């Protein structure tokens, strides 16, 4: 069994551990925010952590109304430009805490007087020393190059950051997430069988929208780095504005389809894809009753969940799929070619 699969299976405990331990950090950050309310949130990250930041942008704007920007570190490291972070809350996200350009942005923001937060899995990292407020993703050491448990841990911490900013998210709802993750893991036998059908897939599209848009990026990244599948990622809105032209019969598409505000556009897209005879695999749950025949295949989580809590349990079937597809392709998902666990960029 791959380390990637082992770490996927560790997620319920890691999530529960993180939630329990980091509530005190929420209280400290909330107190700091009450003294100087930010007018803007800036999230800075790379790779999988940047996908988590995409989720943070949607979550924070939806639940607090505060504008959120995703930083472009190259503005600082390549162009040498200065950005005014006064009155901003700058949140840096890195599994290792050693992402060079992410830390440079964090360092400049703090020097400019911004309120700074670091989200990392490593308590002794450079990031942990730079940020005023540090949330630890208590996932334990992640040995597989492909990040799984640190990604879901980062999503969970972003719920906590939103709570510190005043989001009306109940702690009792967040306490449900580890159990939802555990229930999602029960789909592994079904997904392992399904992966065999895609053994010869070399290109695909992943679609999500709103709170699950980040999962489209993350699922595509996992297929690219562990299965060497050329996987593009889109929102359903963007895909219908042009890229749908690439779809032909049997073209593989993977879609995140929770019930709620994003379902209408996703359903319209599925109708169009059915007419084009595309191969569609939809990840959803019991709360969303997808009409018979609308999707080629449906991976249905064994519970009903509100959209706002769906991103963490929804990514788990995708992680499992990527891990098993790599094995089907006779690849080692733990050691993708040319990749290492920590990537340093300037």
When the pLDDT of each residue in the chain is averaged and rounded to a whole number, the result is: 94
Q: Which of 39, 149, 277, 341 is catalytic?
A: 341
Q: What is the mean pLDDT of residues 231-258?
A: 94
Is residue 294 very low, low, confident or very high in pLDDT (cuts 50, 70, 90)?
very high
Highest mean pLDDT among 83-87, 228-232, 339-343: 228-232
Q: How buried is residue 110: exposed, middle or buried, by Cβ count under 10 Å (0-12/13-18/19+)?
A: middle
Which phi and psi angles does 83 have, rounded to 5°?
A: -120, 135
Distances in Å between the Cα of 232 and the Cα atoms of 160, 268, 337 are 30, 20, 20
Q: How buried is residue 219: exposed, middle or buried, by Cβ count under 10 Å (0-12/13-18/19+)?
A: buried
Is residue 82 very low, low, confident or very high in pLDDT (cuts 50, 70, 90)?
confident
Indicate if 179-328 has the same CATH topology as 3-175.
yes
Rg (CA), the chain: 19
Supply the pLDDT for residue 174: 98
Statement: residue 90 has pLDDT above 80: yes
Supply the pLDDT for residue 1: 78
Question: Would you kindly state where each structural domain of the chain is located, as residue ranges?
Answer: 3-175, 179-328
Is residue 9 very low, low, confident or very high in pLDDT (cuts 50, 70, 90)?
very high
The residues that bridge with 116 in the sheet, in sequence order, are: 90
Q: Give the single-character DSSP code of 117.
A: E
Tokens of 244: 């749908």
Question: β-strand 40-45 against 115-120: which pairing, if any?
Answer: unpaired
Q: Does domain 179-328 have CATH number 3.40.50.2000?
A: no
d(C-alpha 240, C-alpha 269), whole Å:
7
pTM of the model: 0.95
Top-tier CATH class for 3-175: alpha beta
d(C-alpha 283, C-alpha 265), whole Å:
15
Statement: residue 118 has pLDDT above 70: yes
The answer to whether residue 24 is catalytic is: no
Which phi and psi angles does 142 have, rounded to 5°?
A: -100, 115
Are 173 and 160 spatial neighbours (Cβ–Cβ below 8 Å)?
no
> Which is more confidently placed, 41 or 1?
41
Which phi and psi angles does 147 have, rounded to 5°?
A: -75, 135
Tokens of 176: 């449900």
- Report the sign of the C-alpha dihedral through residues 9, 121, 313, 270, in that order: negative
Diameter of the chain by CA atoms?
58
Q: How far is CA 298 from the centre of its chain?
A: 21
d(C-alpha 230, C-alpha 256), whole Å:
18
Q: Give the single-character DSSP code of 113.
A: T
Q: Which of 117, 109, 162 is nearest to 135 (CA)?
A: 117
Statement: residue 150 has pLDDT above 90: yes
Is residue 309 very low, low, confident or very high in pLDDT (cuts 50, 70, 90)?
very high
Supply the pLDDT for residue 293: 93
Supply the pLDDT for residue 339: 56
Is residue 336 very low, low, confident or very high in pLDDT (cuts 50, 70, 90)?
confident
Q: How far is CA 16 from the centre of its chain?
A: 18
Which phi and psi angles does 298 have, rounded to 5°?
A: -125, 125
Supply the pLDDT for residue 345: 59
d(C-alpha 3, C-alpha 312), whole Å:
20
Supply the pLDDT for residue 98: 94
Supply the pLDDT for residue 92: 98
Statement: residue 343 has pLDDT above 60: no
Supply the pLDDT for residue 149: 97
d(C-alpha 33, C-alpha 37), whole Å:
5
Tokens of 13: 């405990």
Q: Which of 289, 203, 301 is nearest to 254 (CA)?
A: 203
């Amino acid at each position: 069994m791959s380390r990637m699969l082992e770490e996927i299976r560790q997620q319920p405990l890691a999530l529960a551990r993180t939630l329990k331990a980091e509530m005190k950090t929420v209280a400290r950050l909330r107190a700091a925010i009450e003294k100087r309310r930010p007018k803007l949130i800036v999230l800075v990250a790379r790779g999988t952590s940047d996908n988590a930041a995409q989720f943070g942008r949607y979550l924070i704007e939806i639940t607090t109304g505060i504008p959120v920007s995703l930083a472009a570190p190259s503005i600082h490291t390549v162009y040498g430009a200065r950005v005014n972070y006064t009155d901003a809350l700058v949140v840096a996200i890195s599994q290792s805490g050693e992402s060079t350009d992410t830390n440079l942005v964090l360092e400049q923001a703090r020097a400019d007087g911004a309120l700074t937060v670091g989200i990392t899995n490593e308590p002794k990292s450079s990031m942990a020393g730079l940020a005023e407020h540090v949330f630890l993703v208590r996932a334990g050491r992640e040995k597989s190059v492909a990040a799984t448990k640190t990604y879901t841990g980062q999503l969970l911490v972003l719920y906590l950051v939103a709570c510190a900013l005043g989001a009306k998210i109940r702690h009792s709802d967040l306490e449900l997430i580890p159990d939802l993750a555990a229930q999602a893991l029960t789909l592994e036998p079904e997904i392992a069988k399904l992966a065999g059908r895609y053994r010869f897939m070399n290109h695909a599209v992943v679609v999500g929208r709103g709170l699950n848009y980040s999962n489209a990026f993350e699922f595509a990244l996992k297929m690219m780095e562990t299965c060497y599948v050329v996987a593009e990622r889109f929102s359903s809105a963007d895909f219908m504005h042009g890229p749908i032209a690439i779809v032909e019969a049997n073209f593989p598409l993977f879609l995140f389809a929770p019930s709620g505000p994003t379902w209408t556009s996703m359903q319209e897209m599925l109708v169009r894809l059915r007419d084009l005879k595309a191969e569609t695999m939809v990840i959803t749950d019991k709360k969303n009753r997808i009409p018979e025949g609308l999707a080629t295949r449906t991976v249905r989580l064994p519970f009903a969940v509100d959209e706002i809590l769906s991103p963490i349990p929804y990514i788990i079937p995708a992680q499992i799929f990527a891990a098993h597809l790599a094995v089907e392709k006779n690849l080692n998902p733990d050691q993708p070619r040319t990749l290492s666990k920590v990537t340093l960029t300037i």
